[in-house]
Amino acid sequence: MHRIAVIPGDGIGLEVVREALATLELFVNNDTDLTMEWDVFDWGSEYYLEHGKMMPENSLEVLKSFDAILFGAIGDARVPDDVTIWELIMPIRKEFQQYINYRPAKHLKGIQSPIQNNKDIDFVIIRENAEGEYSNMGGHLYKNTKQEVAVQNTVMTREGCEKVARYAFNYARENNYKLVTSATKSNAIVHTMKLWDHCLMNVSESYPDVAFHSVYIDALAASMVQHPEKFGVVVASNLFGDILSDLGSAVVGGLGVSPSANINPEGAYPSMFEPVHGSAPDIAGKGIANPIAQIWSLALLFDHLGYSKQAGLILSSIESTVRDQVVTPDLGGNNSTEEVGNAIRGRVAAALQGGKI
């Protein structure tokens, strides 16, 4: 029996997680191969406004006993962004050593991509998720004076860089991607990025069957727009990977269809699965948020726990729903969050009943 912790969070997180949970429930009730139970936690900005913290003191201890975490989104105009991020998402990612952030950018047929080249776009961004530019080391002095100074340090370690490099090459090898591209900027960031380059190059030598390119981040961003079909696995530091993954989601149709995983590859702690998008306050409560990124994140969770057939069924049901143009307004349709969720579940249910899994 696998146990899942569910944190819907804020804004549209609540709406799209509802659809993912209904999908999970469908599997639990109809697929005897999948045994899962889950607990839902009401942590987030509402919790903060009531209790003065984003989650209870012992929350990491509580989460540790679960096999995986399904996360919605966080963000609320009434709570500063650095509080919502650094008191909820970051502690989970860091304490649970989720040092791999995995974001597929796969173009589903039926979705309008801004890139009109009719070639298959299917690449994966693997981002270092624990150190680098988001290390939170530095200081800010003499605030609001002429002498004001701020310093933010980037921390890269050989171990951190090599671990993400190995993960990227293994992933490429196991999933038949022929090329690993590293995002760098070692011409200008000469200390940390040179260590990054060195580690990537070293690790690449153990994978002669996978081609390796190191490309400056500025040229890489342009190339991802001009020739996204060329990429296989893109491996990047925390900041570069963060930016590239929003670009990746834009070229395949937007944030509404972009899932992600924060992975602790050793399995010592639970990994966390969440859509790339945030709480989208502009559409929250309207019932029109696209649930695909969240339901696809559930598929990544299934895959991570060994339910790869079930993950594949979710993905093919999403593809078929999109092909039939049952889509929310962000994809040019006029269906609601619930209608898209129901359409995906209808296809899952038909396959489960027909024994097609």
**What are the residues binding ligand ATP (CB under 6 A)?**
12, 16, 73, 75, 255-256, 277-283, 289-290, 293, 328, 330
- Cβ 202 to ligand ATP shortest distance, Å: 36
- For the CB of residue 158, give the shortest distance to ligand ATP in the complex, in Å: 33
Pick the closer one to ligand ATP by CB: 5 or 327.
327
Cα Dmax for the chain: 71
211, β-bridge pairs? 179
Report yes or no: 347 and 317 within 8 Å, Cβ to Cβ. yes
Q: Name the residue nearer to ligand ATP (CB basis): 256 or 341.
A: 256
Q: Are 290 and 337 in contact (CB under 8 A)?
A: yes
DSSP result, 201-237: HHHHTT-TTSEEEEEEHHHHHHHHHH-GGG-SEEEE-
Of the two residues 55 and 172, which places its CB atom closer to ligand ATP in the complex? 55
Pick the closer one to ligand ATP by CB: 172 or 257.
257
Based on CB atoms, which residue is closest to ligand ATP, 91 or 265?
91
Minimum CB–partner distance for residue 17 and ligand ATP (Å): 11
- DSSP letters spanning 251-273: HTT-GGG-EEEEE-TT-SS-EEE
Q: Shortest distance, CB of residue 208 to ligand ATP, whole angstroms?
A: 40
C-alpha 109/C-alpha 325 separation (Å) is 10
C-alpha span between 259 and 273 (Å, rounded): 8
Could you tell me the two tokens for 157? 């370690």
Residue 282 CB, shortest distance to ligand ATP, in Å, is 5
What is the CB neighbour count within 10 angstroms for residue 96?
Answer: 21
Q: Minimal distance in Å, beta carbon 106 to ligand ATP?
A: 16
Give the alpha-carbon dihedral of 220, 225, 231, 234, to 10 degrees: 50
Nearest approach in angstroms of CB 348 to ligand ATP is 20
Give the SS3 label for residue 274: strand
Mode of pairing for the β-strands spanning 233-236 and 122-128 = parallel
Strand partners, 271: 68
Closest distance between ligand ATP and the C-beta of residue 60, in Å?
A: 22
User: Residue written as tokens 């489960």?
Assistant: 352
Return d(Cα 44, Cα 74) in angstroms, integer.
7
For residues 193 and 318, which CB has a smaller minimum distance to ligand ATP in the complex? Answer: 318
Token output for 350? 């038909």
Write out the two tokens for 165. 């490099």
User: Given the complex with ligand ATP, which of 177 and 296 has the nearer CB atom?
Assistant: 296
In the bound state with ligand ATP, the residue whose beta carbon lies nearer, of 233 and 252, is 252
Cα dist. 30→22, 189, 287, 349, 354 in Å? 12, 53, 27, 8, 11
148: which DSSP letter?
A: -
As measured in angstroms, the least distance from the Cβ of 102 to ligand ATP is: 18
Nearer of residues 127 and 277 to ligand ATP, judged by Cβ: 277
